[in-house]
Amino acid sequence: MQVNAEQIVDVLRQVTPDLLRWSGAIAKRMRTFNVALEGKHSGNANTDALTLADLTVQELVIAGLRDRAPLLRHCRIEAEEANGDLGAFAEESPLSIALDPIDGTKYFKDKTGNGYAVMIHLRTRDEVLYSLVYAPEDGATGTWTQAYGNVVKSGADDFSVNAFDCLEQMPAIDPARRPDSKKIYLIGFQKNDPANAAQVTAAGLHGYAPDDMPASIYPLLATGAFGGSLIHTPNIYDYPVSFQLARLLGGDSVWVHNGERVNFSETWMDDRADMLRLPGIVATADSPAKLKILCDLARDWSGVRYPE
């Protein structure tokens, strides 16, 4: 069956808000217990953190996508963990639904901050068509970030209405009135995250290593509190949301070594972390000027994630 991208986006807009709100509530409750698991061995704590909440949230969201909208089964599914009824979805399709059940698992597990989120997106080989991020402990009631069409939204959840209506009532962000931030998030450079963040600052922007991040990057980027990111070999489950946000806000997302826009066909399996990644270093920013600074700075940095 040939699927229509606009129809899939409409369906996702209808069914994913409830699923992510419920999942966020479960994750928030599970966080009060010791739910840490073993499973990933890349050597980087940000990558290797795994909890029972990751598996529980993924089980719920995958089942919800399968049961609430059978049309979605004609899309491919890409999920960071291996559980859930992944076989219910198409093996081949031009449309991929990707899920990160707990983005920011290290902070979730260690209770060092509230910048974790449940997130989902829809993409083709070249474009990201829909994104939804729910950060359940960002603020008093949690924070939504949503993107589709030409629309970017970000704001507080409102439990007095259902999740879909909350997002429908939320005003869209006007890129022309959004703050122009020089703050750039860096991750994936292993032990060099802080040193490379300092180089970004020296280049005229303001680099932030993972341990210095005040919250999830997605609402920060959407609202203008941050201007972009610089990521070494980003994974395909969460990074594409930044790709979509940057493009809708007037910028782009490119490989630093050649300045070409990222596509999602050039992936590799990181067996140490058990996840699919893009090759090389990716710069994402809300303006061409910031992209140029990041590309000029990092063009000659090593694109090898695990140097021997």
Q: Which residues are annotated as a binding site?
A: 80, 100, 102-103
Cα separation, 217 vs 215, whole angstroms: 6
Cα separation, 274 vs 21, whole angstroms: 27
Residue whose pair of structure tokens reads 């594409």 in the numeric block? 240
- H/E/C letters for each residue in 122-189? EECCCCEEEEEEEECCCCCCCEEEEEECCEEEEEECCCCCCHHHHHHHCCCCCHHHCCCCCEEEEECC
Cα separation, 166 vs 168, whole angstroms: 6
Annotated binding site for Mg(2+): 80, 100, 102-103
Residue 56 parent element (H or E)? helix 52-68
| CA-based nearest residue to 98, from 69, 128, 68 | 128
